[in-house]
Amino acid sequence: MLDKAQWPAGDELEYCRYLWDDPYTQLAIIFVGGDGCYAALRKEPTLSSRIYPAAPHPPESR
């Protein structure tokens, strides 16, 4: 699980792509972030084709 995914960093995302593409790695990556997270991640060429639709979750009331 990667938090603050609305502010993607190139090297970190490249490493995620590397792990995802490795046939010996069986993992799921959950990107968690605030407003604009999905749009920010879709702009990244290394992840664009690997990201599935977002599941928005309403903010918790305190």
How many residues are given for the chain? 62
- Asked if residues 44 and 13 have their Cβ atoms less than 8 Å apart, the reply is yes
For residue 39 the two structure tokens come to: 């749009």
And the tokens for 20? 């995802």
pTM: 0.64
pLDDT tens for each residue of 4-43: 777 777 788 788 888 888 889 888 888 888 888 888 888 8
CA distance 39 to 41: 6
Q: Measuring CA to CA, which residue among 32, 22, 34, 33 is closest to residue 1?
A: 32
